[in-house]
Amino acid sequence: MQELQKLYDRIVQRANINLRELEFDVNPYVQNLIPFEQMVKFYAFFGISPHHPLNFQFKHSNLAGSYFLGQCKITNSLLYKSDIRGDELKKKGDIFQYQNFEIPVSRDEEIYIQDSMLIKTLVHNYSHDPETLEEFFIRNTVAANYANIHGSPSDGSFVGSFATVDLTTMRDCVIGNFAYIQTGEISHLYIAPGTIWIRNPDEFNFVYKHPIDALNDYIYFKSGVPPRGIFIDFVEDRKEAFQRVFDVVNIEHSTPVPSSASLDRYAVNKPPTHIGENVLVSQRAYLQNAWLGKGANAQENCYIINSRLEGNNVTAHGAKIIGADLGTNVFVGFNSFLRGAAGKGLIIGKDSIIMPHTIIDVRVPLDIPEGHLVWGMIKSESDLTRHSIPIEDFSKINSSFTMGSMFFEGNGGSFIGAFRDRIHHILEANGAFFDGSEKKGHAQKNQFISFNTLQPYPEGKYKGLYPTISIKP
């Protein structure tokens, strides 16, 4: 595997050159994180359909266990069990609205991953950077286990385990474990683990930091130490169920699926499970004794166990819901971890917003009233009083506001309005509002995807690398 080692060394060096000002060395974080033998074992797979533009180009890369949809170019990169999802790429002729600008898209957008290492990482396009409308790039970047790169072009950065970069162009940055960043653009910054930072210049700024000692119980990952903690244990305990899904060529789910809904072939489904109309269940989602009402969704790397979602619920990438009942229109943000006491001990009222990277882990029953904004780490009723507020009250903030370790400044109404607009877009894009003929989304379009597999060289100096491949209509 001579060429595979050279490729690994190339990526680490290029990332380290970009991060030299932060004096950050990527190598001890990723050294032995993926045994090279594992990168030969797993096939890559790609989806094609009449609804998604097709143009795949893979060159001098390893793609073990990764999934591709849409227009993707991968060069000099290592992708291990990652999801590269290009189902919302901009198209030639689209008009992109940014502030007071209406910018025409001159050619179909592509995802371009170059000189990067992505480990069990979710990449979703939906980029908002007006400077790179036609190319969603990830260059000289390393992302660790279960990170999310969502609509966020990246150059020369490191993204820690269970971290999320959302709608943010990132250059030469280090994003700590379980940090969530949505700020539009950042460069040459080190973001501490557990930081939740949402900013829209001149409108609002939201900052919260998880207590590091408590966070380390959930995810701990540092130089020379592989990721560990409750999050890793939770995923590892359910790994075998996914192995069967990927080992079997033809698989049929036993749960009835309405004609307007989609249960992905690469999702795990353990009955009893109910799939309502217009429901979207994405690849690598995990359902067990789950009830999903009309328009609900479970996105990539989501787990819904012993829980009921009444309808039009968004379970964003990587979120986990265990032992909970959610009313209608509840949003659960990226990589959140919600675990109720035994026997469905967590109730979340309708129209509530559980912010990204929230941890609710309770041993006694907890009832979150409807219409609340919730964030942080919650393990008791008293924690809830310090980490939640009625959305109506938050909307009235028009200066600065502090509650516990959370700091907010700006217009609360704009903040809530931005969240609601985003939630509406997600539901619309996922097909939650499909009426039988119009407003189709992913739940309807994903029914027509066919899957194909790719294999690497099995022996020799190219062992583990995939041959140069170009797949076009």
Query: HEC states along the chain?
Result: CHHHHHHHHHHHHHHHHHCHHHCCCCHHHHCCCCCCCHHHHCCEEEEEECCECCEEEEECEECCCCEEECEEEEECCEEECCEEECCCCCCCCCEEEECCEEEECCCCCEEEEECCEEECCEEECCCCCCCCCCEEEEECCEECCCCEEECCCEECCEECCCCEEECEEEECCEECCCCEEECEEEECCEECCCEEEEEECCCEEEEEECCHHHHHHHCEEECCEEEECHHHHHHHCCHHHHHHHHHCCCCCCCCCCCCCCEECCCCEEECCCEECCCCEECCCCEEEEEEECCCCEECCCCEEEEEEECCCCEECCCCEEECEEECCCCEECCCCEEECCCCCCEEECCCCEECCCCEEECCCCEEECCCEEECCEECCHHHHHHCEEEHHHHCCCCCEEEECCEEEEECHHHHHHHHHHHHHHHHHHCCCCCCCCCCCCHHHHHHHCEEEEECCCCCCCCCCCECCEEECC
Asked, for residue 269, whether it belongs to a domain, the answer is: yes
Whether 369 and 221 map to the same domain: the answer is no
Would you say 61 and 74 are in contact if contact means Cβ atoms under 8 Å apart?
yes
Asked, for residue 307, whether it belongs to a domain, the answer is: yes
Q: How many domains does the chain have?
A: 2
CA–CA gap between residue 331 and residue 352 (Å, rounded): 7
Q: Which residues contact 435 (CB under 8 A, 6 or more apart)?
A: none
Whether 314 and 461 map to the same domain: the answer is no
Asked, for residue 409, whether it belongs to a domain, the answer is: no
From residue 387, give the alpha-carbon distance in Å to each of 252, 337, 357, 371, 383.
42, 15, 13, 14, 6
Whether 230 and 279 map to the same domain: the answer is no
Which tokens sit at 209? Answer: 């930091």
Asked, for residue 157, whether it belongs to a domain, the answer is: yes
CATH code of the domain in which 111 resides? 2.160.10.10
Which tokens sit at 103? Answer: 């910018």
Whether 460 and 397 map to the same domain: the answer is no
CA–CA gap between residue 319 and residue 338 (Å, rounded): 8
- Quote the domain boundaries for residue 390: 257-403+422-446
Asked, for residue 250, whether it belongs to a domain, the answer is: no
Asked, for residue 246, whether it belongs to a domain, the answer is: no
Per-residue pLDDT, 254: 82
Asked, for residue 415, whether it belongs to a domain, the answer is: no
- Which residues are paired to 389 by β-bridges? 373
Whether 392 and 453 map to the same domain: the answer is no
Whether 218 and 286 map to the same domain: the answer is no
Per-residue pLDDT, 23: 97
Whether 266 and 161 map to the same domain: the answer is no
Which tokens sit at 4? Answer: 């595979």
Query: What dihedral angle (degrees, nearest 10) is formed by the CA atoms of 375, 380, 381, 385?
Result: -30
Whether 113 and 175 map to the same domain: the answer is yes
CA–CA gap between residue 332 and residue 346 (Å, rounded): 13
Would you say 270 and 253 are in contact if contact means Cβ atoms under 8 Å apart?
no
- Which residues are paired to 452 by β-bridges? 46
Per-residue pLDDT, 247: 83
Whether 132 and 194 map to the same domain: the answer is yes
Asked, for residue 248, whether it belongs to a domain, the answer is: no
Which tokens sit at 268? Answer: 């795990």
Per-residue pLDDT, 249: 67
How far, rounded to the nearest angstrom, does the alpha carbon of residue 234 sit from its chain's CA centroid? 17
Nearest one of 371, 312, 311, 315 to 338, comparing CA atoms:
315
Please list the rounded mean pLDDT of every run of 10 residues in the chain (473 residues).
Answer: 92 98 96 86 92 93 96 97 94 88 92 98 89 94 98 97 97 98 97 98 96 98 94 96 83 88 94 96 96 98 97 98 98 98 90 98 96 98 97 96 96 97 96 97 92 93 94 92
Whether 202 and 165 map to the same domain: the answer is yes
Q: Residue 404, Cβ neighbours under 10 Å: how many?
A: 12
Whether 206 and 125 map to the same domain: the answer is yes
Q: For tokens 């609804």, what's the residue?
A: 51
Whether 294 and 349 map to the same domain: the answer is yes
